[in-house]
């Protein structure tokens, strides 16, 4: 796939969704960080149900660090791996409260040193909060990049590095959410909705339904 085709693909995705954003509900950078930690192997819908309860009880690093682990677990128990996530969130809150005075780190190293925060989570925060041109490759972006031959790769990191290199610069900040939302609602894992796909004529998915 050449650069002009990629530019056309992102132009169409951007035209179709001018202001792409996360579907996680949050009111502060710290809340988004906690929501993203919870989102590992969980849907945004289930995370939002949990964070409504959690953030109404404690929504700052100081307040969460003062909760008991048992209380924290009870607030997020509908989320998979809730016990491990509770421990990570509690420790992360303590670090942010004590080391960063309640504010989340603004750099990758600082973010990835927090319990429960890996490269993907760090990229979500760097992109969504700090508007950095980075891409967090989740299952949707990984599938989409390989399926339509946008940036084929065998691992999420390989896909991330290719996307960052190959996506035209003017679309890099929005690319993360443009691709996630397209993969979530149109280019789905099963039965991709090719007839309602704005990039149908440009993608290189071999089994797509051609729009005439």
**Residues 49-87: b if buried by 16+ CB within 10 A, e if exposed:** ebbeebbeebbbbeebbebeeeebbebbeebeebeebbe
What lies within 8 Å, CB to CB, of 43 at 6+ separation is: none
Catalytic residue among 8, 15, 71, 138: 138
138 is catalytic: yes
Count of positions (residues) in the chain: 212
Catalytic residue among 49, 87, 91, 120: 120
120 is catalytic: yes
Q: Which two tokens stand for residue 61?
A: 């690093």
Cα(148)–Cα(202) distance, rounded to whole angstroms? 9
Cα(140)–Cα(8) distance, rounded to whole angstroms? 20
Q: Which two tokens stand for residue 2?
A: 């050449």
The residues annotated with a catalytic role in the active site are 120, 138
């Amino acid at each position: 796939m050449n650069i002009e085709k990629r530019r056309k693909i992102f132009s169409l995705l951007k035209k179709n969704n001018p202001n792409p954003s996360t579907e996680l509900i949050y009111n502060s950078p710290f809340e988004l960080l906690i929501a993203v930690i919870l989102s590992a192997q969980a849907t945004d819908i289930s995370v939002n149900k949990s964070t409504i309860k959690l953030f109404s009880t404690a929504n700052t690093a100081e307040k969460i660090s003062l909760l008991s682990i048992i209380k924290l677990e009870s607030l997020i128990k509908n989320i998979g791996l809730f016990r491990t996530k509770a421990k990570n969130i509690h420790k992360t809150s303590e670090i942010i409260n004590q080391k960063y005075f309640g504010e989340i780190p603004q750099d990758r190293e600082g973010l990835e040193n927090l319990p429960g925060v890996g490269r993907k989570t760090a990229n979500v925060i760097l992109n969504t909060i700090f508007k950095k041109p980075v891409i967090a490759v989740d299952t949707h972006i990984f599938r989409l990049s390989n399926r339509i031959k946008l940036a084929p790769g065998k691992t999420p990191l390989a896909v991330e590095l290719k996307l960052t290199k190959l996506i035209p610069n003017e679309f890099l900040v929005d690319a993360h959410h443009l691709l996630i939302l397209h993969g979530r609602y149109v280019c789905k894992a099963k039965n991709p909705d090719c007839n309602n796909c704005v990039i149908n004529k440009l993608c290189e998915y071999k089994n797509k339904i051609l729009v005439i």
